[in-house]
Amino acid sequence: MNKTKVFITVDVEASIAGCFSDPERYKPLLAQPVYGKVGQAGHGLEFILATLAQHNLQATFFVESLQSRYFGMEPMSDVVTQIKAHQQDVQLHVHPCWTNFDNGVVTSTLYNDHSTGREHQEMVAIFKEASERLIELGAAAPIAVRTGSFSCGVDTFTALADLGIKYSSNISMGISPPNESKLHHENGLHQIGSVLEMPLTTFKSYSVKGGVTSRGMTVTGCSASELTSLLRQAYKQQLDYVCILTHPFEFFKKNNMQYQRICANRLTQYRLKILCEFLANNEDCFSTHHFSSLDNTTQASSSNKVILQGTYGKALLRAAENFSYDSLRTVI
């Protein structure tokens, strides 16, 4: 049987941190949500990079670059340098809300984070600026893009195609389903115009009341048991590609949106460790990859018939696990 290709993806981004609600009182934050420093220990980006390195696994870091409109180039340049030093992949993450800033100044507080429903030339200009800024941060020209909050439509892919972007990961049926039914993909790799799209892998799960729901395969939104079970199912059904999502800020807890006090989130850290151990111990079934490893020989897969299924028991245990840990008074 062929190995299932696993793409661990990490969205690296700053936080608006309440700035749009009260610009005078709240300022955007970068170091806190990216690094999660407690004393000398980094529980965000550094923890992820170290865990991947420990198990010799590859991941793609989708780095938001438009936020340099507020923070300048140096802070995110340091992030890119650190990721590259670990031989990991840097691609482009785009949150258009950062166009509400110019040279460190707030120019608008209106919500403005959609990557669909805009004029075509406006979207092209946003993606072009973001791409140029990522290169200025020290990354190679991006070949893959992930839109913020999985906001996308057919118009998104048309704009990316005009810029020569070959790959994307913009669709999540469990987080933000696109309006157009032709974009309703739960897993695999799909040709959308000239762009190959790898959606966040989605599985069928259950609410606490027993209703069926679609859920994205994320480190914070799945238990360790669910993550390993879903990977086993993917291999058994010969799903070519699995895409998993996480963020640095998920690996520590904060007391408020200004990150005034934080501590390690041992639950999500445990989940990432188990995921990485599982992949490292099952190299006969799985291999991890960078988006930059995709090339002209990569082809779309017919994967819509693959169904990954959670169980009600696992969903209940995950909910109980999350509730119990979230209730712990660990941020003091």
User: DSSP code of 110?
Assistant: S
Dihedral sign, Cα of residue 147, residue 153, residue 155, residue 161: positive
- Whether residue 227 contacts residue 256, with contact meaning beta carbons closer than 8 Å, is answered with no
CA-to-CA distance for 148 and 93, rounded, in angstroms? 7
CA-to-CA distance for 23 and 148, rounded, in angstroms? 22
Rg, C-alpha atoms of the chain = 19
What does the pLDDT read at residue 329?
53
Partner residues linked to 72 by β-bridges: none
Q: Helix and strand tally (H, E) in the chain?
A: 9, 17
Tell me: domain 4-327, CATH 3.20.20.370, correct? yes
Pairing of strands 212-216, 286-288: unpaired
- Whether residue 265 contacts residue 247, with contact meaning beta carbons closer than 8 Å, is answered with no
Partner residues linked to 309 by β-bridges: 204
Q: In the structure encoding, which two tokens stand for residue 283, read together? A: 């190299």
Most distant CA atoms of the chain, gap in Å: 58
Amino acid at 23: P
pTM summary value:
0.96
- Whether residue 3 contacts residue 285, with contact meaning beta carbons closer than 8 Å, is answered with yes
What does the pLDDT read at residue 303?
57
What does the pLDDT read at residue 332?
41
- Whether residue 331 contacts residue 253, with contact meaning beta carbons closer than 8 Å, is answered with yes
CA-to-CA distance for 302 and 288, rounded, in angstroms? 20
CA-to-CA distance for 256 and 237, rounded, in angstroms? 42
- Whether residue 155 contacts residue 116, with contact meaning beta carbons closer than 8 Å, is answered with yes
Pairing of strands 105-106, 101-102: antiparallel
pLDDT tens for the chain, residues 1 to 332: 899 999 999 999 999 999 999 999 999 999 999 999 988 889 999 999 999 999 999 999 999 999 999 999 999 999 999 999 999 999 999 999 999 999 999 999 998 999 999 999 999 999 999 999 999 999 999 999 999 999 999 999 999 999 999 999 999 999 999 999 999 999 999 999 999 999 999 999 998 888 999 999 999 999 999 999 999 999 999 999 999 999 999 999 988 888 888 999 999 999 999 999 999 999 999 999 999 999 877 778 755 577 899 999 999 989 888 888 776 655 44
